[in-house]
Amino acid sequence: MSLKGIVSTTATGVPDIKQSMAKFIKAKIPLGQVKSSSMTDDNSDQPIVAVCVVSDRLKCPPKYFLLDRTEDGKDDADLWRDSLFGRRYYRYICYKKCNPMPDDDVLVDVAIINDKDSVPAGFTVLEYTEDTHEKSLKKKSLCFRWMSYRLTNAAISKLILLSKSMRRPPSGYTVIGDINNMLLCFKMVSLAKTNMNYSRSDEISTHHILTATTSQSRLCLTPVENALPYVMNPTMAASNPNLSSYSSSDDNISRLVTNTKS
Sequence spans of domains, the chain: 36-190, 200-261
Q: Flag the least confident range among 20-29, 55-64, 155-164, 226-235.
A: 20-29
The mean-pLDDT minimum among 55-64, 134-143, 169-178, 237-246 falls in 237-246
Share of the chain above pLDDT 90, in %: 48
Question: How far is the CA of 216 from the CAs of 60, 66, 209, 212, 248, in angstroms?
Answer: 60, 60, 11, 6, 21
Does the pLDDT at position 183 exceed 90?
A: yes
- Alpha carbon dihedral 168, 174, 178, 183, in 10-degree steps, equals -50
* pLDDT over threshold 80, residue 12: no
List beta partners, residue 161.
184
Neighbouring CB atoms inside 10 A of 20's CB total 15
User: What confidence score (pLDDT) does residue 165 get?
Assistant: 86
Q: How many CB atoms lie within 10 A of CB 180?
A: 18
What is the average pLDDT across 154-161? 97
pLDDT at 136 over 50: yes
The CA R_g of the chain, rounded to the nearest whole Å, is 35
CB 92 within 8 A of CB 34: no
Q: What is the pLDDT of residue 248?
A: 47
User: Which pLDDT tens digit goes with each residue over 117-126?
Assistant: 999 999 999 9
Question: Does pLDDT of 257 surpass 70?
Answer: no
Residue 71 has what pLDDT? 93
pTM: 0.62
Per-residue model confidence as pLDDT tens digits over 26-81? 444 444 334 445 565 677 899 999 999 999 999 999 999 999 999 988 899 999 97
- Whether the per-residue pLDDT at 242 is higher than 60: the answer is no
Whether CATH 2.100.10.50 fits 36-190: yes
Q: Average pLDDT over the chain, rounded to whole?
A: 75
